[in-house]
Amino acid sequence: MAALQNLSMAVGAAVSALGTLMFMAWSRYFPRQRRRRRRHQLEYMIRQPEENYLDRQILVLGLDEAGKSSVIHTMSTNTIKSSSAPTHGFNSATIRSPGLRIELLEVGGSFNLRTYWLQYLKNAHIIVFVVDSTDERRLPLARHELHRLLEAAPQLPIMVLANKQDRDTALSISDIHTGLSLHNTASQRAVTVLGTSARSDGGEHSTPLQTVLSLLQEKLHSVKRLTQSAIMHNHTDLLQTSLETMR
């Protein structure tokens, strides 16, 4: 009888120890699961706005001294820079606006760097081609470089900025348009030419750079990017079939 009593006490103690262990395991495991779930929800909420952005790139090209860095500075900071050093390589700034994260990327305009321009077309959504309106002597060279881009990527929108309109010696927008032979472009899309100044408001023939930025933002909501195979020289026949959507 005593042996039976001892056995039932031992079984009772074992059951209670097991119950305690199971309770401890349960209470440790579930709060951790809940914490993990809450952390995932939080991470998702933090990531959400990023996922709603469209990443867009504006490729800013043009001859050396045209004013590319100055234009990028004014657009991205809404301030005027009194001087600017030549870009040895590239230079960039990021602008955020509702639904867009825009990278303004300049590749320097010196002779050596111009040979690399075409390599940057594949990531661009729009080209902004900056021309020094006071540099009449090099307007034919600017035309040559611009038409090289137009031929390499006929589908890519291009906006030309006739910059330095604040200067007395600046050519008019219509002179720049003619000097760049834009009426001769075989490309299907019209190339917009806007007068600008990165130094001041540029007077009555200028479009403020913040207005230019708004126009670009509008365009960037709808543009597509070209695939690598669409960036070619003299093989425009394949271009029609090589467009891909961004998302």
Ligand X SMILES: Nc1nc2c(ncn2[C@@H]2O[C@H](COP(=O)(O)OP(=O)(O)OP(=O)(O)O)[C@@H](O)[C@H]2O)c(=O)[nH]1
Would the annotation count 122 as a binding residue?
A: no
205 binds ligand X (CB under 6 A): no
Closest approach of ligand X to the CB of residue 73, in Å: 8
Residue 179 CB neighbour total at 10 angstroms: 17
Query: CA–CA separation, 26 vs 10, rounded Å?
Result: 24
69 binds Mg ion (CB under 5 A): yes
Closer of 62 and 157 to ligand X (Cβ): 62
Which H or E element spans position 130?
strand 126-132
Which H or E element spans position 97?
strand 90-97
Site pattern 113..132 for ligand X (x: CB under 6 A) = -----------------x--
Site pattern 138..167 for ligand X (x: CB under 6 A) = -------------------------xx-xx
Asked if residue 162 lies in contact with residue 195, where contact means CB atoms within 8 angstroms, the answer is yes
Which range binds Mg ion by CB under 5 A, 34-42, 61-69, 75-83, 225-233?
61-69
Query: CA–CA separation, 176 vs 116, rounded Å?
Result: 25
CA 102 remoteness from chain centre: 4
74 binds Mg ion (CB under 5 A): no
Residue 83, contacted partner among ligand X, Mg ion, none, CB below 5-8 A by kind: ligand X
Among 57, 75, 87, 154, binds ligand X (CB under 6 A): 87
Residue 103, contacted partner among Mg ion, ligand X, none, CB below 5-8 A by kind: none
108 binds ligand X (CB under 6 A): yes
Query: CA–CA separation, 124 vs 59, rounded Å?
Result: 6
Asked if residue 170 lies in contact with residue 164, where contact means CB atoms within 8 angstroms, the answer is yes
Which range binds ligand X by CB under 6 A, 28-36, 154-162, 196-204, 227-235?
196-204
The secondary structure of residue 125, as a DSSP letter, is: S
Which range binds ligand X by CB under 6 A, 140-148, 191-199, 219-227, 238-246?
191-199
176 binds ligand X (CB under 6 A): no
Asked if residue 122 lies in contact with residue 54, where contact means CB atoms within 8 angstroms, the answer is no
The neighbouring-strand residues paired with 98 are none
Question: How do beta strands 90-97 and 100-107 pair?
Answer: antiparallel
Backbone φ and ψ for 22, nearest 5 degrees, come out as -65, -40
Tokens (6 digits) for 9:
């006490």
Closer of 73 and 125 to ligand X (Cβ): 73
195 binds ligand X (CB under 6 A): no
Per CB under 5 A, residues contacting Mg ion are 68-69, 87
Residue list, annotated binding site for GTP: 62-69, 109, 163-166
Residues that bind ligand X (CB under 6 A): 62, 64-70, 83-84, 86-87, 108-110, 130, 163-164, 166-167, 197-199
